[in-house]
Amino acid sequence: EKETFDRIVDYVWENVPREIVKRDDVQTWFDAPHGQWTEADAEKAGQFARGTWKMRSRKIGTEPFFVDKIANHPRMRQLVSLFIGDPVKRSNRVRGVYCIFPKPPNSESRLAPHGDHTAAQLSAMVFVDTVPPHSGGFTIWPGSHYMSHLYHTTVYGPLDPDLAEPYSKARDNVLREIAPVEFSGKAGDVVFWHPRLVHGGGVNRSAERDRPVVRLVVPCEYQRDGMTPYFNLSHGPAPNRQWWVDTRNFREDVPATADNMWDGWAFDTSTTDAGDCSA
């Protein structure tokens, strides 16, 4: 609902300490944050550096307008079930709001691709406001989940520490060989994506056009209910490591093999093309 997204936009600006960036002053958005972003600020409102603010905390991400109105919205849960089947575990939190501020016009910048190594079975990026093309939209490297799968200890487990170096080399090959795809959209649009995809935020070039924007998305994660969860104390999610991730590793998970990446999904993946980014 529109009022949900309006509330989230307001909430983002309410959480800026000391007006380090100002909603009505675009000049403060460039090279944000201006002034010192302290450890206390990071604890209260998340890390903010080089124009990227991951607005999250033990509280931020648990509010009803995130949990009830977005992550557990009936339409979201219905769509999630079409991917991973029922029952879908109810969400207790979202990651927060991931904000990308515009770069100054004609400045140099580059993408920051990475992989997530958490226990999600399905991930989602929910657009909070309009994100035009080339404005920091969520970006993926199609097919890279096939590469990533075998470098993990289990299908939904963490990266195998003994394979960290080979994984980095394989990821670099992906970045050289595959063109990234950036998603633009409007408030309420959702990108569902496989958690093993190499991904990142796009470069926000909106200041080079008439209307600079701050890219705002709410990351959500999902998994089937009925498993036996546990805290992965060395890698997370756990109370003191990647605590902002809502999904959990589970005892029923199995080692990753060449033919089990899609086991348990609710639709036929036998003809899935490695270049198809729809999953």
Residue 269 confidence (pLDDT) above 90: no
> What is the average per-residue pLDDT within 1-26?
96
Helices (H), 126-237: 144-149, 164-177
Residue 265 to residue 194: CA distance in whole angstroms: 11
Taken in order of first residue, the domains within the chain and their CATH numbers are: 2-250 (2.60.120.620)
Q: What are the two backbone dihedrals, phi and then psi, of residue 25, each rounded to the nearest 5 degrees?
A: -135, 95
Q: Is 213 exposed, middle or buried (0-12, 13-18, 19+ CB in 10 A)?
A: buried
Query: Rg of the Cα trace of the chain?
Result: 19
Predicted TM-score (pTM) of the model is: 0.93
The DSSP element (H or E) to which 181 belongs, if any, is strand 181-182
Q: Per-residue confidence at 270, pLDDT binned at 50, 70, 90?
A: low
Q: What pLDDT score was predicted for residue 31?
A: 86
What's the pLDDT tens digit per position in 88-141?
Answer: 999 999 999 999 999 999 898 899 999 999 899 999 999 999 999 999 999 999
What's the pLDDT tens digit per position in 154-202?
Answer: 999 999 999 999 999 999 999 999 999 999 999 999 999 999 999 999 9
For the chain, give the percent of residues with pLDDT over 70.
96
Residue 268 confidence (pLDDT) above 70: yes
The DSSP element (H or E) to which 65 belongs, if any, is helix 64-66
Q: What pLDDT score was predicted for residue 1?
A: 86
Q: What pLDDT score was predicted for residue 35?
A: 75
What's the pLDDT tens digit per position in 180-190?
Answer: 999 999 999 99
Residue 276 confidence (pLDDT) above 80: no
DSSP state of 19: G
What's the pLDDT tens digit per position in 202-258?
Answer: 999 999 988 999 999 999 999 999 999 999 998 889 999 999 999 999 999 999 999
Mean pLDDT estimate for the chain: 94
Q: What pLDDT score was predicted for residue 271?
A: 52
Please, are residues 126 and 1 in contact by the beta-carbon 8 Å criterion?
A: no
138-140 and 181-182 beta bridge pairing:
antiparallel
> What is the average per-residue pLDDT within 33-54?
93
Q: What pLDDT score was predicted for residue 164?
A: 96
The 3 state secondary structure assigned to 234-278 is: CCCCECCECCCCCCCEECCCCECCCCCCCCCCCCCCCCCCCCCCC
